[in-house]
Structure 1
Amino acid sequence: MNSKRQVLIPTTSNSPAADQLFTNAGFELNYGLTAAQAVQIQEAPDRDSQIAAAIEAAFGRHLETASALQALGIGGHIPVTAAVLDRAPNLEVVYIGAAGFDLIDVPAATQRGILVVNAPGGNATGVAEHAIGLMLSLSHKIAVADRQAHLTGQWSSRQELKAAHPPLSVLGGKTLGLIGCGHIGREVARLAQAFGMRVRAYDPFMDESVAAELGIARSVTLDALLGSSDHISLHTPLNDETKNLIGPKQLELMLPHACLINTARGGTVDADALAVAVAEGQIGGAGLDVTEPEPLPDGHPLFSLPNVILTPHIGGASPEMLEQSAVTAATLAVQILQGTPPGSVVNPEALEAYFINRSTKVSAGAV
């Protein structure tokens, strides 16, 4: 019988460096797919169903003995439900090399004394740069001018661009309103200040001292932020409190030239209401790296709006950011498996129960 504790990666490796952290610590890695199989599946017409089948097969083979479970695969985030957790009696930690953990049932994990870790700040540079890039593209009409030039095969009309809503503008001297000021929000603030922007933030969890250190102003209410910002940029997780945080009412409060940037989670913005607001000139435009649903259905009204920029959730998808995020999450998972309090955890309320349970296992010689 194998005495090494097991780490389950349900599809294939997305970071050899992260995997090596487990190996160096004496853990055994179990993969659902070889690299060759993963490539073959990704090229298949029924890619999604094959990935789901591969994950289920990996769960059937390895979930019962797994001490750690990676919740990110070749198809994106892997759902880790209460039912999945019930099939994993030895599971100690679920880890994901990303900032978001929407598909992990964190309350269920907490109830079972299982810790959940993500990659806080692992992709902050990439996502923050992407947010600023969307602001620049909207302000300078980079995307719309480029589309016109490629579509017509002609130099874009400067007069038409200048006349179109929102007006040509610069970031310098404008006010950026941040909704959420965690790792990514703070990096966006730093970059925006380099462009000469005034930065305000609405974040109920941000201490005044943090705002002072960043050189930004705190907004007491979301409504006040929406009504006083030239650009609004979302940087919140998706949960019950932030679902459709930006809907018809909030869009009505925004300035008529203001642009909405979302590189956080699609579900924080009501996409249908946003399409109406942009189409009617209620706001200046939007830059979206995430949507709900994702991807948007064919023919969605947002596709027809020239002052809406759509990118396919690539803000944190550069190789550098993916690697950094994977290593960040794996490092935290290894700390947990070795009995060390992790530097960060999604469900800190489970820490006490986890370490009590681990102490019992150590005493019994099970760890």
Structure 2
Amino acid sequence: MKLRCAVLDDYQGVALGLGDWARVDEQVDVRSLHHHLPGEEAVAESVGDCEIVVLMRERTPFPASLFARLPRLRLLITSGMRNASVDLEAAARQGVTVCGTASNSEPPAELTWALILGLARQVVPEATALREGGPWQSTLGADLYGRRLGLLGLGKIGTKVARVGLAFGMEVAAWSQNLTAERAAESGAVLAGSKEELLAGSDFVSLHLVLGDRTRGLIDEAELKRMRPTAYLVNTSRAGLVDQDALARALTEGWIAGAAADVFDEEPLPPAHPLRTAPRFLGLPHLGYVTRRNYEGYFTQAVQDIEAFLDGEPVRVLR
């Protein structure tokens, strides 16, 4: 009997074409699901017959309660080497091996700049007006040259964003709880004295932090009100860093000039979510890592993870 494998949340229908699944064809039957499964019951019903499940980032959470509903599961693979939505302790108790894949930091850094530029030059409203026969020019763009870019987080992605900011002639400042002046200077940034100082003094603020107990809700109503009314906020990291309700109010009431996000507290974003209709908001459906090179890497290494597991020597195991 072959093992059964399901690839979840393959929205674009590309998973089976971007990895060499023929390498495991004799031992594994693979299928992909092109739609999001809304909740544990739907997941358990769809993949309850599977010994192997492949996840795309954090699109489908795997808490302890879901592991308990999947007694056949033996191998869980996630794209990337970190997935906060997978309960690794529960997986271990259930005897499930959890493996990851490599992920490139360039795509989310590139998308961050797509959002910054989209906000600064009002790309969406101007493009929409052009297509729909609206007014020819109705906005004034915000300059980047000579303005301050504030980065909350200066890791792999934040460093790449900083270098582009410098190329635009921006002053780059950065802050995180463990960042030093020396480390900031290596990326061409100055260390802000505090989070509050960075928010109050920046024209564009971009978030590049890992979500955890110390960073959850880092940007709340008080912090948004510290920002300049001409400033913009960009989040391509994790939705939990920002109070979503406060952000919607900030946009509606004009506390800041605008915001952009590629991540949300619930995905896919519910139709009635306030950010869908918030003014001066540029939103994308979590595209930060969605590029051909990244996907080719994810599914190529997912096949490798399966091969190694079948050989009894799992690789890239998450603990």
Report deviation, 1:256: 1.4
Which residue of 78, 84, 93 maps to 1:96?
Answer: 78
Distance 1:311 1:113, change over 3 A: same
Residue identity matched to 1:154 = G
2:15 matched residue in structure 1: 14
Structure 1 residues 338, 21: CA separation in 2 closer, same or farther (over 3 Å shift)?
A: farther
1:124 aligns with 2:105: yes
TM-score calculated relative to the size of structure 1: 0.69
Match of 1:140 in 2: 121
Q: 1:283 offset after TM fit, Å?
A: 0.7
- Aligned-partner Cα distance in 1 for 2:47–2:55: 10
- Report the counterpart of residue 71 of structure 1 in structure 2: 55
- Give 1:1-367 correspondences, 5 Å limit: 9-11=5-7, 14=15, 30-31=28-29, 33-34=30-31, 38=33, 42=35, 52-58=44-50, 62=51, 70-72=54-56, 76-81=59-64, 84=67, 94-98=76-80, 101-109=83-91, 118-119=100-101, 122-151=103-132, 153-156=133-136, 158=137, 160-162=138-140, 168-206=141-179, 209-327=182-300, 338=313, 347=319
8 A contact 2:230–2:257 mirrored in 1: yes
Residues 306/210 of structure 1: CA separation in 2 closer, same or farther (3 Å cut): same
Q: Unpaired runs of 5+ in structure 1?
A: 64-68, 163-167, 348-367
Which residue number in structure 2 is paired with residue 358 of structure 1? none
Q: How many residues align?
A: 312
Closer, same or farther: CA 346–51 of 1 in aligned 2, 3 Å: closer
1:15 and 1:208 mapped to 2: Cα distance? Answer: 46
Deviation of residue 339 (structure 1)? 7.0
Counterpart in the other structure of 2:11: none
- Structure 1 Cα separation of the partners of residues 187 and 200 of structure 2: 22
Could you tell me which runs of 5 or more consecutive residues in structure 2 were left unpaired when the two chains were aligned. 9-13
Aligned to 1:364: none
Q: 2: distance between equivalents of 1:177 and 1:133?
A: 16
Q: Which digits, 9 at most, give the CA deviation of each residue in 1:103-160, with x for residues without a partner?
A: 201344577897755456x242221111111111111111121223334x1343x3x4
Q: How far apart are residue 45 of structure 1 and its match?
A: 11
Higher CA-based Rg: 1
Contact 2:7/2:54 (<8 A) preserved = no
**How far, CA to CA, are the matches of 1:328 and 1:210 in structure 2?**
32
SS in structure 1 at match of 2:139: helix
Deviations 1:330-359 (A, max 9, x none): 76887896477x5xx754xxxxxxxxxxxx
What is the CA RMSD across the aligned residues, in angstroms?
4.0
Name the CA distance, whole Å, in 2 between partners of 1:209 and 1:114: 42
Percent identity between matched residues is 28
Q: What's the TM-score once normalised by structure 2's chain length?
A: 0.78
Q: Using the alignment, how far apart are the partners of 1:140 and 1:194 within structure 2?
A: 17
Stretch moving more, 308-317 or 110-119: 110-119
